[in-house]
């Protein structure tokens, strides 16, 4: 089994990523950390506990981290995720407590106290908590097994601005630090996630599992996909964050390559742009693996099979 820490801002797609990880015996979820992103921290830190309780996994500790980006005011995305961040399913207010430690402290303590290269970080949100942890403990980057994150948009452009994807846009300074940290980073940008659409048939397959949990997930999908369907006329919306967990389970479903990536922090126009040297035109050593393609049918089959276990 592989030990992971999920850092997240639920978000319907974040919630489904957490469930996919909890449903997978190949993974041990050491903790789930909340950060400000899709909605403010008080909501994301409640939402992760709603999801843990939905899965019956109150043994997994939940942490709150940064309530704002390193340097900038918080930008949120209620226009996609609804007022609560988890609109689409009515879940009870959680009763499990938050662990009192700050998420960045939990990351540092956990990674440094475990064997080298045994913990993988899975950020599904702005990278503020991860940048704080890297700043607190300079040895963290090389101690990690790796970081597999959802963020960026390269050939596909952005979804928050023409240049930038939401997670990187919200805290570009944090993202720049993570990519430059020396950690073994794999990133899943919009180029890949836009291939994983929650079509009516895929959502119906999940709803058809017939469990209370599958009904909640289908409710989230119905809510989440309405944004893209209305705006772009697609059948379904892109199910971004669960691809991070799917990559850990089935790397064979993905393809990509090692690249150098830098994050724009100076320009307001292109703030948060992930500038990728796909063609190796400058003399910069690769610092990340960019996943560009996913077998979407394979991914949804995996997700549905795993959700059936919860
Ligand atoms: C990312 O932004 C959030 O809205 C989603 O949860 C995902 O992490 C996609 O750009
Ligand atoms: Ca997210």
Measured in angstroms, how far is the CA atom of residue 113 from the centroid of ligand 1?
A: 31
pLDDT band at 2 (very low <50, low <70, confident <90, very high): very high
> Does any ligand 1 atom lie closer than 6 A to the CB of residue 241?
yes
Q: Model-level pTM? A: 0.98
The one-character DSSP state at 41 is H
Mutation to probe ligand 1, out of 12, 14, 34, 153 (largest number of atoms < 8 A from CB): 14
Distance (Å, whole) CA 245 – CA 149: 9
Burial class (CB in 10 A: 0-12, 13-18, 19+), 270: middle
Whether residue 240 lies in the annotated active site: yes
Tell me: the pLDDT tens digits for 99-111?
A: 999 999 999 999 9
Q: Which residue's entry shows tokens 């690769």?
A: 286
The percentage of residues in the chain with a pLDDT greater than 70, rounded to a whole number, is: 100
Which pLDDT does position 93 carry in this prediction?
97
Question: Tens digits of per-residue pLDDT, 66-91?
Answer: 999 999 999 999 999 999 999 999 99
Distance of alpha carbon 147 from alpha carbon 184, whole angstroms: 6
* Ligand index nearest the alpha carbon of residue 239: 1
Ligand 1 pocket, residue 198 CB under 6 Å? no
DSSP H helices, the chain, are 12-22, 41-54, 78-81, 103-113, 128-136, 140-143, 166-170, 172-179, 190-193, 200-207, 212-232, 242-249, 296-307
At 43, the pLDDT band (50, 70, 90 cuts) reads very high
- Residue 124 CA: nearest ligand 1 atom is 8
Ligand 1 geometric centre to CA of 49 (Å):
19
> Could you give the ipTM of this predicted complex?
0.99
User: Which ligand 1 atom minimizes the distance to the CA of 159?
Assistant: 10
Spatial CA neighbour of 89 closest among 47, 40, 33, 43 = 47
CA 153 to ligand 1: nearest atom: 10
Is 159 a pocket residue for ligand 1 (Cβ < 6 Å)?
yes
Task: Report whether residue 167 contacts ligand 1, using a CB cutoff of 6 Å.
Answer: yes
Residue of 160, 155, 119, 173 lying closest to 2 (CA atoms): 119
Is 102 a pocket residue for ligand 1 (Cβ < 6 Å)? no
Please tell me whether residue 146 adopts helix, strand or coil conformation. strand
Phi/psi for 289 (5° steps) reads -105, 125
For residue range 122-157, list pLDDT tens digits in order: 999 999 999 999 999 999 999 999 999 999 999 999
């Amino acid at each position: 089994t592989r030990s992971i820490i999920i850092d997240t801002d639920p978000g319907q797609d974040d919630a489904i990523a957490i469930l996919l990880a909890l449903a997978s015996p190949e993974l041990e979820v050491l903790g789930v950390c909340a950060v400000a992103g899709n909605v403010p921290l008080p909501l994301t830190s409640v939402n992760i506990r709603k999801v843990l309780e939905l899965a019956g996994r109150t043994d997994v500790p939940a942490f709150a981290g940064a309530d704002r980006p390193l340097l900038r005011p918080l930008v949120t995305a209620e226009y996609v995720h609804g007022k609560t961040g988890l609109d689409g399913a009515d879940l009870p207010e959680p009763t499990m407590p938050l662990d009192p430690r700050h998420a960045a402290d939990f990351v540092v303590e956990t990674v440094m106290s475990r064997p080298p290269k045994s913990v993988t970080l899975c950020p599904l949100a702005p990278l503020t908590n991860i940048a704080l942890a890297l700043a607190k403990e300079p040895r963290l980057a090389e101690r990690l097994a790796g970081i597999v994150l959802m963020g960026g948009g390269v050939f596909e452009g952005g979804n928050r601005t023409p240049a930038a994807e939401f997670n990187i846009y919200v805290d570009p300074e944090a993202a720049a630090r993570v990519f430059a940290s020396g950690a073994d980073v794999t990133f899943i940008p919009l180029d890949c996630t836009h291939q994983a659409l929650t079509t009516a048939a895929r959502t119906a397959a999940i709803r058809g599992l017939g469990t209370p949990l599958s009904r909640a997930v289908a409710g989230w999908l119905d809510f989440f996909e309405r944004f893209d369907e209305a705006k772009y006329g697609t059948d379904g919306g892109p199910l971004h964050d669960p691809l991070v967990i799917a990559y850990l389970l089935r790397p064979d479903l993905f393809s990509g390559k090692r690249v150098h990536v830098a994050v724009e922090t100076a320009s307001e126009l292109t703030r948060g742009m992930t500038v990728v040297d796909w063609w190796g035109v400058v003399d910069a050593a690769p610092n990340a693996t960019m996943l560009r393609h996913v077998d979407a049918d394979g991914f949804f089959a995996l997700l549905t099979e795993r959700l059936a276990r919860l």
